[in-house]
Amino acid sequence: MSETMMEFCVADSSGPPPGVYRAVFQGVTRTEHPEYGAGARFDFKVVGGEHDGRTASRTGKPTPSAKNATGRLMAGLLGRAIQPGEKVSLAPLVGKTFTIVVAAAPNGTSTRVESCVAS
């Protein structure tokens, strides 16, 4: 006989609310969206405070430029401007702490990382 489930505890799987946080860079993951195509998701884990442990992220284009979100996040992680044609590895930055700015996404229902700088 199957057990009836009537009570639930809702998991909090959303990112932190808009604000400024200290966060550890977790890396970049390739993504594929049915509407937008290929992407690169930058993940940060908040450390300390009320939202400790929550993941904040931002997905951008897989090819960085100085004008897109991917390029701006890379520049923030590196602490300098990126250059056309430059090859960059972000692997040495995984596990390092940054200050991130999280803002409401245009959809109004989620948040996303807008910028990061070394802490």
Which residues are CB-contacts of 97 (< 8 A; sequence separation ≥ 6)?
22, 23, 24, 25, 47, 119
Cα of first residue to Cα of last residue in the chain, in angstroms, is: 55
Residue 31 lies in a domain: yes
Q: What is the pTM of this model?
A: 0.86
Residue 53 lies in a domain: yes
Residue 102 lies in a domain: yes
Tens of pLDDT along 28-85?
A: 999 988 888 999 999 999 999 999 999 999 999 999 999 999 999 999 999 999 999 9
Domain count, the chain: 1
Residue 1 lies in a domain: no
Judge contact between 77 and 98, C-beta under 8 A. yes
Residue 81 lies in a domain: yes
